[in-house]
Structure 1
């Protein structure tokens, strides 16, 4: 299918729902029920400033018409006000106007659609060149997600440059840039040293922003301090990091630091987040009473959950526990079941 004639549904899927702010709510919804006389009064009060050329106010009126929550929705009027602000180099207006045009909200006929989409990308490029991060992200997503070499006459090289710039300051850009390098394979996909270095820089940015998974991923990178990143990820309750740190401590390969959660907390956190190895380790230690007070019913419960997830060691341990219970003499089972209070 030709890129220019994508259906609206396909076009939105290409851009990504996360790219849209106001429009993602529902650009084609009926106007909201909570419109009020007060909202229209505010709109009319702002009209003189907008008509006098104030780009901030023009953008505000455009967004009010776009949202349709306090005044009747009118996308054509929204386009007019945003266009007036956009030509005055008001980057937020350029960003919202670009979205409107890309979404084909005006039901352009096929002969006009190419022109409209080209104009929409043009506004996004202008805002991107002014270092507007949301525009840089949407511009990059649109172009880099296209199968064409130069969609709408725009350069993918320039789009990548905008993305690289944005990734240093805007976390959604950072995550998108990282996802493009990962190609769904995370650490295993590192076709060149340059790509690995780029990944490392992006992960540093996310790790410094309290991203637990970025910290855990850095613990796997060659040349990084594994324990440093593993601890920092575990302190943010990253499931796999919590399990691995607990396992290292239990095997006396690493001591806990004062800021680290206790071993029981680490295992419980990982187990509650569906890490089968953590479920197994926690369950076996509770059953055996090693390191933690014995709690056989709770331990068996964790082992069963782990076995249900296909973790073979848990299934085998449950079989051993059942075999041991079945082989106990009947009198011994009765004796062990009695509590000090009900013994004769």
Structure 2
């Protein structure tokens, strides 16, 4: 009889526990729904009782709300208390957040050794952000001896689970040839995975890789003698796009293109020799003339300007100036007609 009563009592207690557990899950989910719609007061009302009853997930979220000042006055000390309660119950989210608090010195004196301890506890449960954090600690020698090998291993664990920050760092290590042989294809692969999740660093790295590839292809084409590529490479050096700005290299590639009759390169050489120190007005006039003789109205106008004014490196010659202004005006150059009128008035 007593045995039957004990069995019934056990079943009753199990039923009660199940009922209360169901209520707890429902309350937690209600709090989560409120949190996601930024109704922080409702989330707080749902989670605080659960947290006080020892619910580790609710404790973690309460820590988040205090850390970020969501629905409550921001308080790192209070956040630390709730993260610790959650972490001490084995909650990986709470363990990782507690590690971050120690790493950043929020609510507690900065302590990377303690931070790493909590990151390891969370990582042991397979939590990817904690695995990334361990990689970050190893890469920078924070709270542990610096080790690119360990950093790579932990980044890989997190990256394989889809952690964008880890995917970016793994791509960077492939790009820099750290631990592994440099592999641009692998670097691009991991950058792209991170970029697809909106990681701005990965997006920038992909853009730089694209520019680098384009520049390599452009240089190869330029070295094969293509004038358009030579001009474009000169532009890259002039503006510092993908390469350090270098006027000597700019002139070199513009000249190669200009000598093959590229009008744009001829004009750019004329401009550079006339404005960039050291100036060379002989070269300036030479290249503006070559472009002008090919019928370029801008070059015709600038050549006319050189002959129109004193101290431009050539002897002033109104007749020569008028000739080039007229050629430019015939093609609709807006300032050339004004120069013609001014010259005609001056000659009178």
In the alignment, is residue 172 of structure 1 matched against residue 165 of structure 2? yes
**Aligned ranges 1:219-258 → 2 under 5 Å:** 233=210, 238=211, 240-249=212-221
In the alignment, is residue 320 of structure 1 matched against residue 312 of structure 2? no
- CA 1:292 to 1:322, structure 2 compared with 1: closer, same or farther past 3 Å? closer
**8 A Cα contact 2:47 2:58, kept in partner:** yes
Other-structure match for 2:153: 161
Other-structure match for 1:61: 62
- CA 1:130 to 1:265, structure 2 compared with 1: closer, same or farther past 3 Å? farther
Larger Rg: 2
Structure in which a larger fraction of residues adopt helix: 2
Which of residues 96, 116, 127 is equivalent to 1:132? 127
* Residues 147-179 of structure 1: CA deviation (Å, up to 9, x unaligned): 88659xxx9865553123234443432443455
Gaps of 5+ in 1: 1-37, 218-232, 257-261, 309-314
The structural deviation recorded for 1:44 is 3.1
Q: TM-score by structure 2 length?
A: 0.53
Equivalent residue pairs, number: 257
- CA 1:279 to 1:60, structure 2 compared with 1: closer, same or farther past 3 Å? farther
Name which structure has the greater RCO, CA cutoff 8 Å, separation 6+.
1
**8 A Cα contact 1:163 1:173, kept in partner:** yes
* Residues 53-92 of structure 1: CA deviation (Å, up to 9, x unaligned): 4433322211111112431122232122222322444322
**8 A Cα contact 2:230 2:257, kept in partner:** no
Q: TM-score by structure 1 length?
A: 0.53
* Residues 268-290 of structure 1: CA deviation (Å, up to 9, x unaligned): 78866644479668976998895
**8 A Cα contact 1:280 1:303, kept in partner:** no
**8 A Cα contact 2:59 2:85, kept in partner:** yes
SS at match of 2:82: helix
Q: Distance in 2 between matches of 1:318 and 1:247?
A: 29
Other-structure match for 2:92: 91
Other-structure match for 1:337: 325
Q: Distance in 2 between matches of 1:171 and 1:319?
A: 57
Q: Distance in 2 between matches of 1:241 and 1:199?
A: 10
- CA 1:248 to 1:91, structure 2 compared with 1: closer, same or farther past 3 Å? same
**Aligned ranges 1:266-305 → 2 under 5 Å:** 274=241, 275=243, 276=245, 290=261, 296=267
SS at match of 1:195: coil
Gaps of 5+ in 2: 1-38, 196-201, 288-305, 307-312, 331-336
**8 A Cα contact 2:231 2:265, kept in partner:** no
In the alignment, is residue 72 of structure 1 matched against residue 64 of structure 2? no
Other-structure match for 1:30: none
**8 A Cα contact 1:65 1:72, kept in partner:** yes
**8 A Cα contact 1:242 1:270, kept in partner:** no
Q: Distance in 2 between matches of 1:131 and 1:271?
A: 50
Other-structure match for 2:11: none
